[in-house]
Amino acid sequence: MKLVKYGNIDNYTESFMDIAKKMNACLSKKDRLPERELSEIYIAGMPNWLQIEAPSLISLDIIELQNSLRKVEMKFSEIEIKNNSNVNMKQLNINSQYNQISINQINIIFLIRLILNHIHHLIH
């Protein structure tokens, strides 16, 4: 299960939690995965840069991690909108659900920065 397939953190978390719930319903109490292992599987489905950052966030609780990552998505959206100086903001009727950049877009931005940094180091 990969986050990029679901487009944003909320869809990914909802699907992940649904699968985990169904899986645990089929297992005896002693065979169910503990919260920590579920968190590790949850994080493993994220792009590499998020896997690196995820442990430094609030905790390994999936819901808290989801909330933190949602804030990251929203912050990138704010930056994107502020940087778009050619658009008259009064003409935009932005619904909050369209105001977010998806994790896929954040992943692309991160990868581009990584590549540019690598090229910069090769040149200098």
Q: Is 18:67 a contact under the CB 8 Å cutoff?
A: no
| C-alpha span between 59 and 39 (Å, rounded) | 10
- Residue that wins the pLDDT comparison between 52 and 19: 19
pLDDT in tens, 11-44: 888 888 998 889 888 888 888 888 888 888 888 8
| C-alpha span between 22 and 85 (Å, rounded) | 47
| C-alpha span between 102 and 47 (Å, rounded) | 12
User: pTM for the complete prediction?
Assistant: 0.55
Domain edges within the chain: 3-123
